[in-house]
């Protein structure tokens, strides 16, 4: 069974940076999209960024210009570079890899931004 393992979360001061990584435990074929979502306490899970191949990316308005999603297909890994972090970015971040047949989710990694 494929598992997505996330890393890179933690505590950072406002204005700082973090880089999240999400690696699949084995190769996933026919990937349609890789993405990151987040869920803050008391709120619904929301889309942060997606990559559907090559340079096709999509970002939530709240993170445009600050976050960058990238992927390494050979490693079945997706990254999220987060710069200029704000306290409102505090949430559990989840990665998702979608294939033709199934959506795989990571276990989540906590990102806390202090003011």
- Please give the structure tokens belonging to residue 4: 């997505």
What whole-number distance in Å separates Cα of residue 57 and Cα of residue 50? Answer: 6
In the prediction, which pLDDT does 6 show? 95
In the prediction, which pLDDT does 86 show? 98
pLDDT tens digits for the chain (115 residues)? 899 999 999 999 999 999 999 999 999 988 899 999 999 999 999 999 999 987 899 999 999 999 999 999 888 899 999 999 999 999 999 999 999 999 999 999 999 999 9
Among 109, 89, 83, residue whose Cα is nearest residue 4: 109
In the prediction, which pLDDT does 55 show? 80
Q: Could you tell me which residues are beta bridge partners of residue 95?
A: 36
Look at the alpha carbons of 48, 54, 55, 56 in this order and tell me if their dihedral is positive or negative.
Answer: negative
């Amino acid at each position: 069974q494929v598992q997505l393992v996330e890393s890179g979360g933690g505590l950072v001061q406002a204005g700082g940076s973090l880089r999240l990584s999400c690696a699949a435990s084995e190769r996933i074929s026919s990937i349609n999209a890789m993405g990151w979502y987040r869920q803050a306490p008391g709120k619904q899970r929301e889309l942060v960024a997606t990559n559907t191949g090559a340079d096709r990316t999509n970002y939530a308005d709240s993170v445009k210009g600050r976050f960058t999603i990238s992927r390494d297909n050979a490693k079945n890994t997706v990254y999220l570079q987060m710069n200029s972090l704000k306290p409102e970015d505090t949430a559990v971040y989840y990665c998702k890899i979608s294939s033709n047949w199934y959506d795989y989710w990571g276990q989540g990694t906590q990102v806390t931004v202090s003011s």
